[in-house]
Each structure stands twice: as structure tokens, then as C-alpha cells.
Chain A
């Protein structure tokens, strides 16, 4: 029990420093190559990271909804969306056929044994995070229709 108290104390004093760091976790590309999450987010532009799965209905709704306006978003702000699938080996084979069948233009990465999902503490998907200058500046879980517009408003603010 003492250890728990120690941990909680640590937590409260240090959580102030903890905000917004990018976990150092490896992901796979669709071609099976390893890429670190640091490399993925280390860009000049603002990056939207969406954790999704082929079996997650709201995830697909969100990515569908953004796909209708993605071209516009990119033209206006240069933002890039990277959709990271947390499908495990049961469903990961569906990722490629699904993204093509949907006609999505996002960069797709795989987190097959959920190392990133764990590191981000995402107990549910979808989880949407926005990264600017290697820092997580926004985090939202779940999807409701229209929340993509709110997301875009925030991205426009961030690009100013």
C-alpha cells in the first residue's frame, strides 16, 4: 500500500511536466517496415493521429467524414492525417482492403500488438491526437458527427 501512496505522490507532483510528450514506440508500415512514432510525428506541419480499427464503427465514421473534406483541409492548412490501425492479427489483413475500398488518402500505419495504444493509454478507440512541434497539443476520444468540424477549427487556430 505504501508504494501506491508513493506512486500517487509522484503522479501529482510530476504530472505537470508530463503533458504532451510523444512516446517512443515502433510501428509498422503497410509494407512491413518498422518506423518509430517519433519519426512519424517529426514534421513541420501539424499532424493528426487517429487510432482506429476495422471493427470500430465510430472510427470509420470519423475517417469517412474527414475523407470528404480532407483535400480542403490539406490545401488550407497543410495538415496531415495519419491513421494508425490497432487491429490485431485477427483483423489486420482487412486493413489494406478496407482503406482501398473506402478510397481514403491517409497514410496508414499498424500497431498490431497495441504498443502505441498502451503507451497513449487509449482504453478505447477512436482516439484523435494533434501533434505540433513534437508535442501533443490536443487529445480527444470517441466520435460524434460534426466533431470533425470542431477539430478543424482548432487546427486552423494552431496554424495561425
Chain B
């Protein structure tokens, strides 16, 4: 609280003395839902029918100094599916004071930081997922030359309106070899990270109070080729499940990611391989695997293509970095690959036509680690790649085409196989797989100026689970500021439920307002490879954002 007063007084001070120089910026975001009983969905609205998440952010810059606060309220409860740590709270969520001058950048208060690809450390905010794991403490970034930067961090992880029990400390260094040695033919940079978590072990001295992780990485660009390699090892630590230590045994963890790509005008290919073994890293050892993604230190997103349509988002993958050795569930991590391809048929060619044709494809395959388990001893051993159970496999092709000045369209086909444990939670590779094929056709017709209509038809074929679906969207854009839509997902293969919705949005300059009414299909909502489970519900939602 003292810190906060300090920042507010700094804001005031700078304001009175230097009103002509500094400036304010920030924004307001409000997401509100009004949940309604719906017999057709078997949904009974919870006691707090009207729920609202609000974020008010104000920053002030004066030359080398920037300061800011973010006030948040979740009243009377947070939106459905958010961590209960937010429910009924309103307070200052984050604040910071930053000084930036030439080679030095110092932040006190809450800050967001990522080391490398984020596997070892990432703190960020995603309001739709209810994630804000900003670190509260101090960060120093030192950039002595163009080719070297060093970052040091020390702090506790935000958890709701409180902070974690564990303290995270870390150092990160990046060095661009090509820049330092004036090499033109290849661009090569390397980086190294250290992250440690300190947490009191109380009376149990078999548990380590400090757990360290070390990582190294290399990235290169050579002509049309590019790629990177990152590897991390984490010291032995206990594993926990649902807030309880599984045993006093310690297990180390590893992560490895390899990317390779080729890109020249008209063609792009990239492939990623990743292997995670017992690689979950939280700011509190007991927070491991919590379903609300709170107190995360490392970022282990699902590396699959984020699909664009309603029916292509029913069967999605969620990364499986954890180690569990129990009679009812055994897993040690995941290994797999994701490949993307982009190609442009040039205009004027047979397949390109007048405007060119854009094609995109992807393939991904993810398996659980192939491992032996000895449950009594709580021992396991995993292969490097091996032949573990398939958890997810998909491939998709998408063709985009501008037909003439008025019409443009997209056609997509996806085939996906997913383990039931991924979709519904619970043990992996025990129940059957679900296999589905999805076809999507989308068309846009420009009426005049920015007045246009867009429609999407989609079909999903599946033999198991809820079987077949059909869906459609109709959208009318009155102009570039105002649009209305109608949508329906109909599960005609099994439940005969229509998930209908209707809504609209209006945006002008710094303000955007959107509203919709309808049924929300339950399941995983994934953004950036991180998923949040949302129960089925019906209601009215409104979103307002204003920036200044």
C-alpha cells in the first residue's frame, strides 16, 4: 500500500510540475455477462446472475519516467469459468514505476517479462483467460551495446489480488554474434537464462526450498532459412496434484524445442519439434496443474495451429507437460511436432487467376511420452521420443481466393484425432479417441464502400462423442464501424441442441462496444495455446473498451 501511495504521489508531483511535458495514456475495459436460466441447455443460472470484470488502466509518462496503475473489479463475481481468487474483489491489481535512459531500464512494482520463448519464464496478462501473473518486485534491463542485453528480475508472482508464497529470481542474457563480429552472411544470436524459485519448506527438509532452472538457446537466419534451438533443465523438485504433494520424491524436468523454417516470397514453411518431460514450473509448488493457470512461471502452450472457426474449435489440444505417477493416471510429458505451409499462387497463373490464390496447410502430431512406471516406488523412466500414445493429430488445408471486386471466399478442411482425456479432462490414453472431419466455406460480398455481408457454413463429421454438427454465421457490416451477426451451432448427431447467438459491435476511434445474446458451448477456450474451461451457459454479454 505504501508503494501505491508513492506512485500516486509521483503521478501527482509530475503532473503539477510538468503538465506541459508529460502525458497520460491508458484505457478502460468492461466485460459483463447476465446469465439466464435455460431449460433447453439444462443450465441453471448461478446466484450471481449479473457478473462483471472491469479493468481501468492509467499510465503517465514524463521523459525518462513512466508510472502506471491498473484497477480491477470482479463484482459481484468474476465471469463464469474464472479463478475464484478474483470473485467479489476490487482493488488496484498492478502498479509500477519505470525509469528508462539509454542503456538502462529499471522497473519497480509489477512488470511483465519473458525469457527466450517463455518456456522458462513468462509473465503476461490475458484478460479473456483470466491470467495475470505479473511479477511484483524489481527488474533491471541493461543494454550496453547493440548486440548484448542483460535482464535481472526478482519478485513474487501475482495471484488474484495477492502474491505467491514463492519468490522468483532470474537472469537472462542475449548476445548477437553476427552483430558483434560484423558477420553479414548469417544472423546468429545466442541466449542464456537462469530462473530460481525460493519457497520455504517448513518442517519437511526433504523438499528443496530453492528450485533452479537453466536454459540456453540459439537462433539463426541464413538467407531464406531460419531456425532455433532451446533447451532447459530444471532441478529436482517434488510433484503435486490438486494442491497436495504426491510424495516426498524429487524429479528433475527438461524441455527442448527446435524450430526450422524456409521462407521466400510466395512460399513459407516452418516446423517445430518440442519435448517436455515433467516440465511444469509454478510460483508455488502446490499450485502445480491448477485448472485456472494461476501462478505460472514457465509458459508451455499447446503447439498446434489455432483454428479460426466455431466447429474447428471443438476438438482442441492442451499441452501436457506434467508428471503423474498414480494407479489411476500415469503421464510424464509430451513430444510432438507441428508443421505449417503457406503458398501463394501468383496472379496471372492458371491457379492464381486475376488476384492470386493463397493456400495454407498444417500438420501436427502430439503424443504422451513413452515411459515405464513403477507405481509403488514412484519411479519412472521415459524414452526420448519412443512410441507413446497419440494424444492429438490434425491436418488442415485452407484456400483463400479473391474472385472479383465484389466476392472473396475461403474454403477450409480439417481432420482431427484427439484423446478423450484431453477434451474432457481425466486420465490420458485410457478411453477412445475421437476422430472428426470439418469442412468450412466462407464468402464475403462487398455491397458498396465498406458495406458488406459475410456468411460461413460449417459441418463436422464424427462417429463418436456428440457426433455430427452443422453451423452457420451470417454477418452484415453496415459500414466499417457497425456490424451485426447471427450464428448457430447445431449438434444434430446426438443432443439436438442449438447453440444460437446474435449480436453486434460498434467501434469508433478509441471506443468499441459489443453485445451478444445466446448460448455458449461449453469446453476449452484457448488463447495463445493456453486453455480455460468454460461451462455451458446462456446469457447476455456486453464488452466495452475505451482507450485514451
Contact = CB atoms under 8 A, between A and B. Distances in A.
A112 interface: yes
Given A33-B179, A90-B528, A24 B24 contact: no
A24 B8 contact: no
A17 B268 contact: no
Given A90-B528, A123-B29, A150-B449, A100 B547 contact: no
Contacts of B236: none
Interface string B336-354: 0000111110100000000
A68 B57 CA distance: 38
B232 to A, nearest CB: 13
Interface residues of A, number: 60
B180 interface: no
B348 to A, nearest CB: 13
B15 interface: yes
Interface string A103-128: 10000000011110011111110000
A139 B481 CA distance: 12
Interface string B440-466: 000010101111101000000000000
A124 B119 CA distance: 25
B124 interface: yes
B308 interface: yes
B118 interface: yes
Contacts of A3: 4, 8, 71, 92
Contacts of A140: 480, 507, 509
Contacts of A4: 56, 71
B467 interface: no
Interface residues of B, number: 98
A96 interface: yes
A97 interface: yes
Interface stretch (B58-66, B199-207, B288-296, B490-498): B58-66
B267 interface: yes
Contacts of A21: 23, 25, 61
Interface string B251-269: 0000000010111111111
B477 A144 contact: yes
Interface string B471-488: 000000101100100000
Given A121-B27, A144-B452, A32 B402 contact: no
B259 A146 contact: no
A18 B308 contact: no
Interface in B168-211: 174, 176, 179, 187, 189
Contacts of A71: none
Contacts of B360: 98, 101
B512 A124 contact: yes
B181 to A, nearest CB: 15
Contacts of B56: 4, 7
Interface in A1-36: 3-4, 6-7, 10-11, 14-15, 17-19, 21, 23-24, 30-34
Given A18-B25, A115-B112, A99 B450 contact: no
A64 B450 contact: no
A100 to B, nearest CB: 4
B221 interface: yes
A23 B25 CA distance: 8
A159 interface: no
B343 to A, nearest CB: 6
Contact of A15 (B24, B268, B305): B24
Interface string A63-96: 0100010000000000000000000111101101
B207 to A, nearest CB: 30
B146 A55 contact: no
A34 B360 CA distance: 30
Contacts of B259: 93
Contacts of B25: 18, 21, 23, 119, 121
B344 A102 contact: yes
A34 B308 contact: no
Contacts of B179: 33
Contacts of B4: 3
Contacts of B117: 89
A133 interface: no
B125 interface: yes
5 pairs of A and B residues whose beta carbons are closest in the complex: A101-B342, A97-B268, A121-B27, A147-B480, A146-B450
10 contacts: A55-B306, A89-B301, A97-B261, A97-B268, A100-B265, A118-B125, A123-B127, A141-B545, A142-B505, A145-B454
Given A94-B270, A97-B261, A103-B344, 15 more contacts: A4-B71, A10-B15, A11-B24, A17-B19, A32-B219, A88-B299, A89-B116, A90-B528, A96-B263, A101-B360, A121-B29, A138-B509, A139-B547, A144-B450, A145-B408
